Structure 1
Amino acid sequence: MVTTPLPRASVAEIPPYVPGRAPASRPGFTSYKLSSNENPYPPLPGVLHAAQAALEQLNRYPDMGNAQLYAALAEHLDVDADRLALGTGSVGLLFHLVQAFAGPGDEVVHAWRSFEAYPIAIAAAGATSVPVPLREGGEHDLAALADAVTERTRVLIVCTPNNPTGTAVTQTALTALLERVPPQVLVLVDEAYVEFVRMDDAVDGLALQAAYPNVVSLRTFSKAYGLANLRIGYAITTPEIATPLRAVATPFGVSSVAQAAAVASLSSVQALMGRVDALVRERERVLAGVRAAGWQVPDAQGNFCWFPFPGDPEATMRFVTAAEQLGVSVRPFAGEGVRASIGEHVGNDRVIELAQRLARPGE
């Protein structure tokens, strides 16, 4: 006999989200957290002032309509405001999208390994996850993703650059995928790291969305803008998709502090890109150092790099332990690989030193 309330069966199947750990504190030694893809820079000019001013109204609910931020984003992106939807980070919008467009009996197709919140959001909605393995080099297998679409598919997710492997798809390849996907399937293009991409034929989510009405582009203020603590992201899509996306959003979910900080950040784009360019230079320096040490690592287009350890959980954890001994925390995916964020210069130096100290896989 059941004596307590029971959640839906799918809730018990939700895998736990594992956050990046902070490094262990060591007296007289500076450690670096490179496990969460955080921006190492402080808020952009004017952002703290705007956030502090918003703090004076903590006794009031935020503007549920997000009017000022919608207007600023619409101007920044040169799109109509009714094509936008805000949420508590792009991950909040991910949950809202899956909830709005998929449910029990429906399928959501996505690459794997990819962002670990995908199977969580899918299970929370009661839908079925259809993971499609990455290629050997950590890239999306777009043809296999298209092949996985069935009459039960409601959502298809493409993460570019892919978290945690760092690889990105091209506009040409993604367009070819969209040509194969039925128009009733929502295609979610997760562009959380779009500002860091430096490659030919890079994905342009805005152009794709204009050409394919079933596309939603997800972006965030957490990474390049450095507002991870405030939890704010946005979707760019059609009004027909943005409307239900707003409908399922948590009322007053985006705080006044987050809204004010985001608006202020959008007015400091030149300073933003200076910081992003500096992080990209650091990324390329780390990749060059790691490869010079003999490691074969994938191209990196986000603010992190990937050390593959396919089928070898022991090697994964040896890498993590060695990183901790150097005062660096990284993000392990046991038996798959380790992700190291691009952070402060000294922390990045230690990642290069780590690569020089450790044997490469297969040795």
Structure 2
Amino acid sequence: MRLRKELLDLPAHVPGAVGATAAVFKLSANELPFPPLPAVIAAIHDAAEDVNRYPQVYGARLLRAIATHHGVVEDQVLIGNGAVALAELLIRSMCSPGDEVVHPWRCFEAYPAVARANGAVSVPVPLRADGSHDLAAMAVAVTERTRVIVVAAPADPTGASITHTDLLAFLEVVPADVMVILDESYVQFDRTDGRIDSRALLPIHRNVVVLRTFSNAYGLAGLRIGYALARRRLVRVLRRVSTPFGVSELGQVAAMAALKQTALVESRVAEIVAERDRVVAALRDQGWDVGDPQGNFYWLPLGERSSLFARDTVQSGVTVRPFPGEGVRISIGEPEANDIALAVAARWVRRVMSPGEPGGFA
């Protein structure tokens, strides 16, 4: 028995680390620090009696709820086992062996991995110095073999976002037969002036597919529910090749319950944004260049010292997500946890600024 050789050297996905004890705060996975909404817990409890039954195969009730929420028709909505499963479906459906997927780098690691797993060629385009997409370079990277382009706003792991005007200008030069995946997993936290209005894009740019998730702002990461918004003809075809019963009944009812709790969701998001702004202001006062993070996380460009910094944070009481050789992504969590991360950052910025200090940068 032989696996395809391109699968053998694919890197494994690195999950956010969990502390050795419950006393260690988890700031490594961009999860909300709040428990599930009471209405969501009640919906899951009620639905638990029916887990011996299959869920709705394509999630018709959830499709209606999402369509109503976004002001689109149900035939424009596709649900899946998290946004990443939908990204895999899109790339698999668009790419033949040797076709290309253009994406920023660094980005969410699943995109290049999914491309390679499906026989496509990953074409990484370096981020700009501020951690944002270099849309001009991404446009230049498009070739006759390009089938998919990935754009994320806000971007994981840097948190940089994109304006509607800049994205429109980019889409104008992208060939109409190239799919553009617009990953909006963290859009609810985005306070960018002139931020993207993805709903307005769909009728104009029919090659755009918007990805959303219930994992982050809705606090349902453990139930794995994502959805795509796209043109009806595309959704009809994708639905045929998607995994049947791809979202559990518990996931579907939880998502429907969450969509009915708009005020509470927005209140929680506002609390995270306010805490993010507090933390970012403190980091800037310390001397860090953190760009303009618009997700529920921020990025410290620590380069080769990223793993050492992450080890220091664990010893101090929080876990973070290091990207060895590049930087560290730190989620916004409980204020106490954020303050621990700030204290570690304060120690490290002095080391960065004092090359002669033992353990500092050379």
Under a length normalisation based on structure 2, what TM-score does the superposition of the two structures give? 0.95
SS at match of 1:359: helix
Q: Which residue of 1 aligns with 2:6?
A: 10
Structure 1 residue runs without a partner (length 5+): none
> Counterpart in 2 of 1:352?
342
Residue 101 of structure 2: aligned partner:
108
Q: State the shift of 1:137 in Å.
A: 1.2
SS of aligned partner of 1:86 = strand
Q: Write the distance in 1 (CA, Å) between the matches of 2:325 and 2:54.
A: 46
Please name the residue that 1:192 is paired with: 185
Q: Distance in 1 between matches of 2:113 and 2:346?
A: 36
Note if contact 2:181-2:208 (Cα within 8 Å) is conserved in structure 1. yes
**Residues 250-329 of structure 1 correspond to what in structure 2 (within 5 A)?**
250-309=243-302, 312-313=303-304, 315-329=305-319
How far apart are the structure 1 equivalents of 2:335 and 2:353? Answer: 29
Q: Which amino acid aligns with 2:20?
A: A
Partner of 2:29: 36
TM-superposed deviation, 1:334: 0.5
Provide the rounded CA distance (Å) in 2 between the counterparts of 1:225 and 1:318.
Answer: 32
Deviation at 1:229, TM superposition (A): 0.3
Q: How far 1:165 moved relative to its partner?
A: 0.5
Corresponding pairs, count: 353
Q: Percent identity at matched positions?
A: 49
Q: Residue 211 of structure 2 corresponds to which residue in structure 1?
A: 218
Shift of 1:24: 2.4
Instruction: Provide runs of 4+ in structure 1 moved above 6 Å.
Output: none
Structure 2 match to 1:60: 53
- In the TM superposition, residue 223 of structure 1 has moved relative to its aligned partner by 0.2
Aligned partner of 1:140 in structure 2 is 133
Are 1:85 and 1:242, in contact at CA under 8 Å, matched by a contact in 2? yes
Q: Summarize deviations over 1:109-156 as a string: whole Å, max 9, x none.
A: 000001111111101211100000001111100000000000000000
1:25 aligns with 2:21: yes
Separation in 1, partners of 2:311, 2:71:
47
Mapped partners of 1:189, 1:65: distance in 2: 22
Q: Which residue identity is paired with 1:148? A: A
Contact 1:24/1:327 (8 A) holds in 2: no
TM-score, normalized by length of structure 1?
Answer: 0.95
> In structure 2, which of residues 166, 176, 194 is the aligned counterpart of residue 173 of structure 1?
166
- Give me the CA root mean square deviation: 1.1
Q: CA deviation at 1:342?
A: 0.3
Specify every segment of 5 or more residues in structure 2 that has no aligned partner in the other structure, as ranges: 355-362
Q: Distance in 1 between matches of 2:240 and 2:27?
A: 36
- CA distance in 2 between partners of 1:232 and 1:141 (Å): 30
Contact 1:36 1:331 in 2 (8 A): yes
Distance 1:85 1:33 in 2: 31
Cα distance in structure 2, aligned partners of 1:328 and 1:249: 38
Alpha-carbon offset, residue 362 of structure 1: 5.3
For residues 36-78 of structure 1, what are the alpha-carbon distances to aligned partners after superposition, in whole Å with 9 as ceiling and x for unaligned? 0001111123111111111111111111031110111111111
Q: In the TM superposition, what whole-angstrom CA distance separates every residue of 1:207-226 from its partner, at most 9, and x where no partner exists?
A: 11221000000000000000
**Residues 87 and 234 of structure 1 are in contact (CA less than 8 Å); yes or no, is this contact kept in structure 2?**
yes
Q: Check 1:185–1:295 CA distance in 2 against 1; reply closer, same or farther (3 A cut).
A: same
Task: Give deviations 1:333-363, integer Å, cap 9, x for gaps.
Answer: 0110000000111101111111112135454
Asked if 1 retains the 8 angstrom alpha-carbon contact of 2:58 and 2:79, the reply is: no
SS in 1 for 2:339: helix
Task: Name the SS of the counterpart of 1:305 in structure 2.
Answer: strand
| Whole-angstrom distance in 2 between the partners of 1:307 and 1:246 | 40
- Residue type of the alignment partner of 2:63: Y
